[in-house]
Amino acid sequence: MAKELTVKDLLDNTRLKIVAGEEYLDRKITTPDISRPGLEMTGYFNYYAPERIQLMGITETSFAHRMNHSELLLIARKMMQPNTPTFVVSTGRKLPEEFMQSAKENHIPVLATELTSSKILANMTYFLSGGLAERQSVHGVLVDIYGLGVLITGDSGVGKSETALELVQRGHRLIADDRVDVYAQDEERLVGEPPAILRNLMELRGVGIIDVMDLFGAGAVRSHATIAFNLHLAKWHDDQKVDRLGNGEEVITIQGVDLPRFVLPVQAGRNLAVLIETAAKNFRAKQMGFDATETFNNNLNSLIAENSK
């Protein structure tokens, strides 16, 4: 499942302004790749990708000043294809009149910014990469705990939503309840967000559906978060093997990205919210180089060495 984006979405989420073609902002953007049409300005179109956003900066617009009217109009008409979403002009430059004419003829909007080409390129790529990425729906709850996105999964009825509610009451932030749409931001990062229909909502058995932002305020929710690890709630069994030292980390793969996974047994009397908070703190501590398991092992080895003398 992938999102569809339009030029209006791009305009609303980056530092761009409309120059011309406001009535054509519904044009579809199908790829996060962005072109800098340098060779095309010289007439070389062998590898031109018209489906990409075309970004023109100081180099391209300066080169255009060396061309005559007929050359510019010919190049512009070759670049303005039916599937070209938009032209973006950076660094406060203006698109040549021949390009503006051709854009109008082909119903292509023209956007502009005062930002440099490299900065607006980075902004657009970040937005488009996330917006057009393939989504995978995961059954679970995503909560921001101390700045870490914790994906809480488990069997139906194990208490995921109730635990998330207690975490919200303790000052943490809900991203998604029941279903999390996950996509790969890059080769190492997963981002989770709620489906539009479930945004800010939570279902509690016996209570019904609640609006978390309405009840707890805007600071209790987030629109998305990078997922740090998956914490799986498993119903307790007497014969269940439990990791007691914290060195039995598992890994699950979502969208081609490996995600650390920890299993937390659920038993009457265990305060899940406190345990999950502690798991998040411990994960952050390990990232910073403080590993309690390693400390325990070192202490144990030192004790063994002393007793063997």
304 in a structural domain: no
The reply to whether 161 sits in an annotated binding site is: yes
| pLDDT recorded at residue 286 | 87
Residue 65 annotated in active site: no
**For residue 3, how many other CB atoms are within 10 A of its CB?**
13
Asked if residue 113 lies in contact with residue 90, where contact means CB atoms within 8 angstroms, the answer is yes
Catalytic residue, chosen from 178, 181, 224, 232, is 178
Q: What is the CATH number of the domain that holds 92?
A: 3.40.1390.20
Q: Which of 69, 107, 139, 237 is catalytic?
A: 139
- Render pLDDT for 203-262 as a digit per residue (tens, 0 to 9): 998 899 999 999 999 999 999 999 999 999 988 765 556 665 555 678 999 999 999 999
Query: 226: which residues sit within 8 A by CB, 6+ positions away?
Result: 149, 185, 189, 190, 191
Note the pLDDT of residue 247. Answer: 57
Q: Report the CATH number that the domain containing residue 239 is assigned in CATH.
A: 3.40.50.300
Domain-ending residue, one of 87, 105, 131: 131
| 25 and 58 inside one domain | yes
Q: What is the pLDDT of residues 42-81, one digit of tens each?
A: 999 999 999 999 999 999 999 998 999 999 999 999 999 9
pLDDT value for 187: 87
CA 275 centroid distance within chain: 27
Give how many domains the chain has, as a whole number.
Answer: 2
Whether residue 145 has pLDDT greater than 80 = yes
Whether 231 is covered by a domain: the verdict is yes
Indicate whether 238 and 143 sit together in one domain.
Answer: yes
- 24: in domain: yes
Weakest mean pLDDT among 44-53, 112-121, 300-309: 300-309
Residue 27 lies in a domain: yes
Tokens of 85: 């979403």
**Of the listed ranges 68-72, 182-186, 267-271, 273-277, the one predicted with least confidence:** 267-271
Neighbours of 87 (CB within 10 A): 26
Whether 48 and 146 map to the same domain: the answer is no
* 158 is an annotated ligand-binding site residue: yes
Q: What share of the chain is helix, strand, coil (3-state, %, to 5)?
A: 35, 30, 35
Whether residue 151 sits in one domain with residue 265: yes
Beta-bridged to residue 250, according to DSSP, are: 261
Asked whether residue 159 is marked as a ligand-binding residue, the answer is yes
Examine the fold and report which residue of 115, 131, 147 is the final residue of a domain before the chain moves on: 131
Note whether residue 306 is domain-resident: no
C-alpha–C-alpha distance, residues 267 and 158, integer Å: 10
**Does 275 share its domain with 142?**
yes
The response to whether 277 counts as a known ligand-binding position is no
Is residue 234, in this structure, part of any structural domain at all? yes
CA–CA dist 151, 160 (Å, integer): 10
Residues 127 and 227 placed together within one structural domain of the fold: no
Does residue 159 sit in the same domain as residue 263? yes
172 an active-site residue?
no
Active site includes 244?
yes
Domain membership of residue 302 (yes or no) is no
- Within this chain, do residues 22 and 69 fall inside the same structural domain, yes or no? yes
| pLDDT value of residue 292 | 66
Q: 117 and 190, same structural domain?
A: no
Looking at the structure, tell me whether residues 150 and 244 fall in a common domain.
Answer: yes
* Residue 301 lies inside a defined structural domain of this protein: no
Q: Which residue has the tokens 């305060």?
A: 271
When comparing pLDDT for 27 and 263, which is higher?
Answer: 27
Please tell me the least confidently modeled range out of 151-155, 161-165, 177-181, 232-236: 232-236
Q: 3-state DSSP call for residue 133?
A: coil
pLDDT at 288 over 90: no
Convert the pLDDT of each residue in 1-34 to its tens digit.
557 899 999 999 998 999 999 999 999 999 999 9
Domain range for 100: 5-131
Known binder of ligand: residue 154? yes
Query: Which one of 86, 101, 131 terminates a domain?
Result: 131
160 labelled catalytic: yes
- The pLDDT, as a whole number, for residue 58 is 95
**168 and 272 in a common domain:** yes
Q: What is the pLDDT of residues 70-112, one digit of tens each?
A: 999 999 999 999 999 999 999 999 999 999 999 999 999 999 9
Pair (227, 155) in one structural domain: yes
